[in-house]
Structure 1
Amino acid sequence: MKSAGVIVEYNPFHNGHLYHLQQTKEVTRADVVVAVMSGYFLQRGEPALLSKWARTKMALSSGVDIVVELPYAFSTQKAELFANGAISILEAMNVDEVCFGSESGNISSFLATLSAMEENKAAFDVLVQKYSREGNSYPKAASLAYRALNIPDATVDLSRPNNILGYHYVKAIADQKARIKPITITRTGANYHDEHFQSPSIASATSIRKALFSNEGTLQDILNYVPEATYTSLFDYKKVMGQLHDWEQYFSLLKYKVLTTDLNVLASLYEIEEGLEHRIVSSIKEATSYHEFMENLKTKRYTWTRLQRACTHILTHTKKDVMKRVTADHKSSYIRLLGMSQNGRAYLQKYKKELPLPLLTKLTSQSNEMQQLDIRAATTYGMVLPEPIRSEWMKTEYSTPPIQYDEESKSFL
């Protein structure tokens, strides 16, 4: 069975994701599509709009065959570690090709960029340090360094968000000596950071979330931009849980954590560097909302995304030494199965004995350090839910089995 992999967040699954999925199947002619999907907290340091289980249902209903979780240790990281974690899982699952969307849409340009960056690594690192000392964030410093090298036009524009991720997917494959073949398709209809609807049917996840959380926003506003399964999942989740998730709901928890934690302990948490704990404490004291706090906190050096990730690690109390240990080899230590179609089940039955990593259907109290981070993330994510839902939520990581989807009846078993 030929397989293709996609690396996703589905926050939420929208028409652009559906296009990517359809193109992946068409270009690769794969029998099975495996999605590595972030769990409760995402690469930009945000809580997912709705649970990983609800997003798994969206994916399966829309044509994904297997959904596995990208562990918290990688899902809340800068592009390099995010990509390495995801590629390590796809490689372990014997996936043949990985297909990602990019602004470039040309895989040859990514390979040329990788080659050029390897040839100019020393000069690139010196320039990054130079631009960082001038007060630029790392992404900005890296972009400036890349431009300063005057690398030939055949390479990728690494100032574009999906190109950056795509480059790191290709680099991770090379670094891990993985057998996966990278493929890219051109993103269509909406840019990654678009905050408003720009076309009649394709919208960014950012603009969809913004519409949902606007003062007068309703689910009806996004009908044209998401498949029916997404609309149904959002409606059902909000009805049962009473809400969708965004940072504002976690602000009081964050404020409590920051103001009741010793400064030395704050400094020991992941991504809290260079005395950032002092700025966080002073910025949060007077802030009355998460948005106000972030506006006070961000600087030229620290991007909104970088600071959001730091805040996420404060919420989950993720320490530097723990994160350093679990990501030391840039690879996941397990595969957490979230859901599968009947087609996906056949694939797993064929290959599961060959998998080099344990395939987990549930976590236990005996879980390793990487898995414990997932459990803590799940607990933190559920803390904004009302009782008695919240108490039931605490059991989900231990009790929820993989979701099974029947393609013929289009229903969950």
Structure 2
Amino acid sequence: MKAIGLIVEYNPLHNGHAYHLRASRDVSGADIVICVMSGYFLQRGEPAAFSRRVRTEMALSVGADLVVELPYAYSTQHAHWFARGGVSILDDLFADEFYFGSEAGHIDDFHELDTFMHENTQCLQEKVRAHVKSGISYPSAQARAFFDLNPPAHLPDLSQPNNILGYHYVKAASRQLGARIASQTIPRISAAYHDDTLPPDQSIASATAIRKMLSESGDAAIIRPYVPEQVYEMINRFYVQDQPMHEWEAYYPYLQLLLSTRSAEALSRIYEAEEGLENRLIKTALTQPTFHDFMHAAKTKRYTWTRLQRLSTHILTGTAKTDIDEALGVPARPRSVRILGFSESGRAYLNRIKKHTPLSLYHRPPQNKNAQQWLDERAARAYYAILNGSERVDKWKEEYTQPPVYPD
């Protein structure tokens, strides 16, 4: 029985994601597709548009067989930790290969890129430091430093977001983890990662554009051409019930309260609060009425939107530097994983591997939580804080009572 893995957010799942899943299964001839999916907060520091349970239903509806959660300690991280967490879980679930989407589209080029970067590590780091000193962000400094090395033209472009993740996936599997799992890539088609408009003559749009259009229109019908029909029906159900997607704007009063009532010293202990950045956020929160205004006022060339969102997420969830240190631990790979959903084939696969995997698999949080699980629970509490009282309490209870998603 061949199993392959995908590392996903599905925020929300769209036609491009469905294509990637189908193409990965077809190319590999896999019997089982495992999705490691981010939970309530995502890699760019955003709340998931829809809950992890709804996104699990989306994944299973387009052919996933097993969906497990990428823990908060990895899902809200820079690319190298995000990649390391996802690849590690798939390796420990005995997936034979994992497939990622990329702008480059050729796996041999990623392996060559990994070798090139490893051979030029010292020079690259020196150039990154020089660019950071000029006042630009770390991701921009990395991209410029890469091109300063005059890499072969066929190597994946590290200014492209999916190529960056792809590089870190390959590096994690082959160099950091010494994983058994093999890396593969599927070329992205049509919409680019950050495109924020819906293309009128295509059926594939970016998740960024889909979220933007949902936010602006308040009508799920506008995104119907760009998502699988079953996904559209799930999203439309929420809009009919006047339960739109989760957005940062709804969380801003809570973030603003924390920034306006906590001391700078206390906030400096939050993960990713570096270089006195907490002082900038405190000052900004006291003068800006909306999250959009807050982000535009706080953002600089050095401090990117993504970095500020991630720090804001950690403030919202109360995640300290020591919390992440303990959750990552040694050997810096997830030690427990929550099962979110499975098909009949996925359940059979779980039964086959559960006695052999080094992971502790669970579907309801244990009473005695490790550091990683405690962060996940705090993320759930923060995620549902914007609901009214009874709905909020019900969602918190469901963390302990709902079984994994299992389609009829």
TM-score interval (norm. to shorter): over 0.9
Letter in 2 for 1:208: I
RMSD over equivalenced CA pairs, Å: 1.1
Aligned to 2:278: 277
CA drift of 1:352 comes to: 1.2
CA drift of 1:195 comes to: 0.3
Paired with 2:350 and 2:180, the residues of 1 have a C-alpha distance of: 19
Letter in 1 for 2:43: Q
Determine helix, strand or coil for the equivalent of 2:139.
helix
Cα gap change, 1:402/1:17 in structure 2, threshold over 3 Å: closer, same or farther?
Answer: same
Aligned to 1:366: 368
Letter in 1 for 2:346: G
Q: Confirm whether residue 44 of structure 1 aligns to residue 44 of structure 2.
A: yes
CA drift of 1:185 comes to: 1.0
CA drift of 1:300 comes to: 0.4
Aligned to 1:324: 325
Q: Confirm whether residue 225 of structure 1 aligns to residue 253 of structure 2.
A: no
Aligned to 2:400: 398
Aligned to 2:194: 193
Paired with 2:132 and 2:229, the residues of 1 have a C-alpha distance of: 45
Paired with 2:195 and 2:15, the residues of 1 have a C-alpha distance of: 15
Q: Confirm whether residue 310 of structure 1 aligns to residue 301 of structure 2.
A: no
Paired with 1:207 and 1:348, the residues of 2 have a C-alpha distance of: 36
Paired with 1:330 and 1:84, the residues of 2 have a C-alpha distance of: 9
CA drift of 1:240 comes to: 5.3
Paired with 1:402 and 1:75, the residues of 2 have a C-alpha distance of: 20
Cα gap change, 1:89/1:242 in structure 2, threshold over 3 Å: closer, same or farther?
Answer: same
Letter in 1 for 2:236: F
CA drift of 1:379 comes to: 0.4
Cα gap change, 1:364/1:265 in structure 2, threshold over 3 Å: closer, same or farther?
Answer: same
Paired with 1:325 and 1:350, the residues of 2 have a C-alpha distance of: 31
Determine helix, strand or coil for the equivalent of 2:379.
helix
Q: Confirm whether residue 70 of structure 1 aligns to residue 70 of structure 2.
A: yes
> Superposition pairs for residues 2-401 of structure 1, below 5 Å?
2-174=2-174, 175-198=176-199, 199-214=201-216, 216-239=217-240, 242-328=243-329, 329-401=331-403
TM-score by length of 2: 0.97
Determine helix, strand or coil for the equivalent of 2:313.
helix
Letter in 1 for 2:385: M
* Residue segments in structure 1 that go unaligned for 5+ positions in a row: 406-410
CA drift of 1:238 comes to: 4.1
CA drift of 1:396 comes to: 2.3
Q: Is the 8 A contact 2:218 2:244 kept in 1?
A: no
Determine helix, strand or coil for the equivalent of 1:383.
helix
Paired with 2:240 and 2:39, the residues of 1 have a C-alpha distance of: 21
CA drift of 1:239 comes to: 4.8
Q: Is the 8 A contact 2:336 2:361 kept in 1?
A: yes
Percentage identity across paired residues of the two chains: 47
Q: Is the 8 A contact 1:143 1:159 kept in 2?
A: yes
Paired with 2:128 and 2:202, the residues of 1 have a C-alpha distance of: 40
Determine helix, strand or coil for the equivalent of 2:83.
helix
Per-residue Cα deviation, 1:118-140 (whole angstroms, up to 9, x for no partner): 11011111111111111111100
Q: Is the 8 A contact 2:220 2:239 kept in 1?
A: no
Aligned to 1:408: none
Per-residue Cα deviation, 1:172-213 (whole angstroms, up to 9, x for no partner): 001100011111011001000000012420000000000000
- Number of residue pairs aligned between Structure 1 and Structure 2: 405
Q: Is the 8 A contact 1:241 1:385 kept in 2?
A: no
Of 73-82 and 225-234, more deviation after overlay is shown by 225-234
Paired with 1:46 and 1:252, the residues of 2 have a C-alpha distance of: 15
* Residue segments in structure 2 that go unaligned for 5+ positions in a row: none
Paired with 1:277 and 1:104, the residues of 2 have a C-alpha distance of: 37
Q: Is the 8 A contact 1:69 1:337 kept in 2?
A: yes
Paired with 2:376 and 2:95, the residues of 1 have a C-alpha distance of: 24
Per-residue Cα deviation, 1:269-297 (whole angstroms, up to 9, x for no partner): 00111011110011111111100000000
Paired with 1:276 and 1:35, the residues of 2 have a C-alpha distance of: 35
Paired with 1:134 and 1:336, the residues of 2 have a C-alpha distance of: 43
Cα gap change, 1:241/1:336 in structure 2, threshold over 3 Å: closer, same or farther?
Answer: farther
Q: Is the 8 A contact 2:218 2:239 kept in 1?
A: no
Determine helix, strand or coil for the equivalent of 2:389.
coil
CA drift of 1:364 comes to: 2.3
CA drift of 1:256 comes to: 0.6
Cα gap change, 1:191/1:133 in structure 2, threshold over 3 Å: closer, same or farther?
Answer: same
CA drift of 1:382 comes to: 0.3
CA drift of 1:388 comes to: 1.2
